[in-house]
Amino acid sequence: MSSLSDSREPIYYTNTDPELGFPQKDYEENYSSQVYPVTLSWRDCNVFALPKRKLCCLCNKEEELPKRILTNVSGIIKPGRLTAVMGASGAGKSTLMNMLTFKNRGSLLIQGEIRVNGVLMDKDKMSNLAAYVQQDDLFIGTMTVREHLVFRAMLKMDGHVSKADKLQRVENVMQELGLTKCADTFIGTPGKVKGISGGEMKRLSFASELITNPPLLFTDEVTSGLDSFMALSVVQSLKTMVHMGHTIMCTVHQPSSEVFELFDEIILMAEGKVAFSGPVTHALEFFKSVGHPCPMNYNPANHFILTLAIIPGFESECKGRVEKMCEHYDNSQASKKLEYFETNQDPYERRMSQKLLEESIHSISSNGPSYFQQLRSVLWRSWITNIREPMLVKIKFAQTLIFALFMGLVYLKTNNDYIQEDIMNINGVIFLLIISFTYNNLFPILNVFPKEIPVFLREHGTGLYRVDVYYISKMLIEVPFLIADTAILIAIVYWMSGLTHDSYTFINAAIISVLASAAASSFGYAISAASPSVTIALTLGPLLMTPFLLFGGYFLNNGSVPDYFIWIKYTSWFLYSNELMIVNQWRDINHISCDEANSTVCIHNGKDVIQSLNYDENNFVLDLTMLSSLIVLYRFLAFIILLVKTKLSKC
């Protein structure tokens, strides 16, 4: 996605009525040449919350009607002016933001017009033109600030922009927002990885969206969770961006007096209506004119919010006051500024600004990164996050090595001269290997999606990359770790525990082991993708895995599975892996020593071992096919679950 950069001379609005607070001509010197200034306006907008669909359509209850949330709201946000949306809880701030950014349209019914420079907006146009910084800062904690911004630049900037220019843009944005000092610091994860401060994290959220230099920026609850100093620092960053030419609208909750002074204009919401919209300096006069002057030495922001709040126990009185103030504003000169803007703008300027805007939107929407550019960038990030995860690399491999040596010592046998007791030992070590492959690859995967799904949904929702790009990158990055971990375990245990000392048989065993590991991780992907949290994933994983384990052929003979559980047996990777390993181990063993005293109950060769377990060596190719099919099936199921989650998140 490219910025709205244009080499042509930008057009600036020249309305000069000081009462209406329009930007003056002298704002031009503050605009960055790379930002095309835009004016956002909306007129007579009504928003209704659609009732939730009921499963029972035959209920006798009356059908619920849409609930009105916003009533006839109009407004205008201009370049060069930092605008704050304020109001008590439930006033309609978030709904106004969702309306303007075209979020949650599936649950809202919206009437009215939203325009930028006079161009009627829809969801696609707005997403190409504007950036939205949400309240929660979501990042991959093991990445540095610079790495995160490079990742965003590679995916958001025009696909035809050179890598050098993208990297230079990253450096420029970090310098503009004061992130240079922490550029090589990990972003951090609370309780795990120490990282940057809350203020730096919020500025990083701004930087993430400013990579493409969008002319329009929405920010939600910009100071929430920050102390007074950090909040002031963040809003000062917004002020800097406004002076560069960006049009910025932000919701803010109870700002300090120092923060409030940084805003040029405010929109005060109450009961889904606009109670005031205009310059901050005019707000005090307006409240005084309606009989609610701000006390001396009192924070004006707190005064406005408290005056417009609906206090429990005094609902009727408060709603009456709010209604009176909204009517007074509707009848005031300040409420006519949108009409003034539309009727007084020079027709030539309007046509030219609309033309340039349409061209810019078309340019942005048609020059995004290619599929392979997306895949390369997401693969790069996945690799970085994986190698920096201590549980995945150092600790996991050390654990595998120690456990492999322990198993090898427990089942230690240096030759292939088998006796009757060796049958149980060999079969036991084979099934224990399969269990180990499962645990080593299932449980780490259970942590993957629940932790990253919020980041994934947000990034995908903004069009950063496709679902299949994210999913394929996860699978590709997993492959070397899966193979390395499995190879360590099978190589040590195989040669220490007395399995057939034959290179061909060992290679077969290694291939089967990798397939068993892949099947277990595939099952983990499905559980992980479906689970809303790591806790639930770690609970469901063992619970759902246990039936597959029981019908794997070790705890219950393959020929003794009840008919009503036969479907579990055929969807178990334990069954196919165990049969493959058993057949691979025993089919070429022609002699097993037998004690003469117990010769009547002896098993004399490997084929007898296979038959005693109700296995068939002729199923070798079939088992390989079924095991591979399970890998594909579980991974496809996980992909479908991710697709469904992305669809639901857009509703």
Residue at token pair 């994210």: 470
Asked if 6 and 356 touch (Cβ cutoff 8 Å), the reply is yes
Residue 601, pLDDT > 90, answer no
**Sheet containing 265-270: order of strands:** 130-133, 216-219, 247-251, 82-86, 265-270, 273-279
pLDDT of residue 363: 52
**Sheet containing 40-49: order of strands:** 67-77, 40-49, 108-116, 119-120
477/388 Cα distance (integer angstroms)? 13
> In this predicted model, what pLDDT tens digit does every residue of 619-636 receive, in sequence order?
999 999 999 999 999 999
pLDDT of residue 190: 73
C-alpha distances out from residue 17 to 248, 283, 326, 344, Å: 21, 17, 23, 10
Q: How crowded is residue 472: how many other Cβ atoms within 10 Å of its Cβ?
A: 16
> In this predicted model, what pLDDT tens digit does every residue of 220-254 receive, in sequence order?
888 887 888 888 888 998 998 898 888 999 998 88
43 has which bridge partners?
113
Best CA proximity match to 381, nearest among 217, 574, 152, 47:
152
pLDDT of residue 334: 65
DSSP 8-state code for residue 564: G
440/196 Cα distance (integer angstroms)? 33
Q: How confident is the model at residue 107 (pLDDT cuts 50, 70, 90)?
A: confident
402/174 Cα distance (integer angstroms)? 45
307/549 Cα distance (integer angstroms)? 65
Q: Which two tokens stand for residue 174?
A: 């970090």
Q: How confident is the model at residue 337 (pLDDT cuts 50, 70, 90)?
A: low
C-alpha distances out from residue 261 to 89, 163, 257, 266, 597, Å: 22, 40, 6, 11, 98
Q: Is 383 exposed, middle or buried (0-12, 13-18, 19+ CB in 10 A)?
A: middle
pLDDT of residue 336: 66
Per-residue pLDDT, averaged over 413-423, amounts to 87
- Give this prediction's pTM: 0.82
Residue at token pair 């061209």: 359
Output phi, psi for 483, to 5 deg: -65, -45
Best CA proximity match to 579, nearest among 537, 612, 547:
612
Pure H helices in 248-370: 257-260, 280-289, 300-308, 315-330, 337-344, 347-366
602/645 Cα distance (integer angstroms)? 57
Residue 344, pLDDT > 90, answer no
pLDDT of residue 317: 85
Best CA proximity match to 201, nearest among 172, 233, 169:
233
Please provide the distance, in angstroms rounded to a whole number, between the alpha carbons at the two ends of the chain. 24
Q: Which residues contact 361 (CB under 8 A, 6 or more apart)?
A: 119, 125, 128, 129
pLDDT of residue 333: 67
Asked if 130 and 161 touch (Cβ cutoff 8 Å), the reply is no
> In this predicted model, what pLDDT tens digit does every residue of 458-469 receive, in sequence order?
999 888 999 999
Residue 350, pLDDT > 80, answer no
> In this predicted model, what pLDDT tens digit does every residue of 255-282 receive, in sequence order?
888 999 999 999 999 988 999 998 988 8
Query: Percentage of the chain with pLDDT > 90?
Result: 40
1/128 Cα distance (integer angstroms)? 8
Lowest mean pLDDT among 21-30, 46-55, 98-107: 21-30
10/89 Cα distance (integer angstroms)? 39
CATH of region 25-52+63-137+217-366: 3.40.50.300
Residue 82, pLDDT > 70, answer yes
274 Ramachandran zone, left/alpha/beta (phi>0; psi -120 to 50): beta
70 has which bridge partners?
47
pLDDT of residue 625: 96
Domain with CATH 3.40.50.300 in the chain: 25-52+63-137+217-366
Q: Give, for 110, the enclosing helix (H) or strand (E).
A: strand 108-116
Instruction: Compute the mean pLDDT over every residue in the chain, rounded to the nearest whole number.
Output: 84
Q: Give, for 197, the enclosing helix (H) or strand (E).
A: none
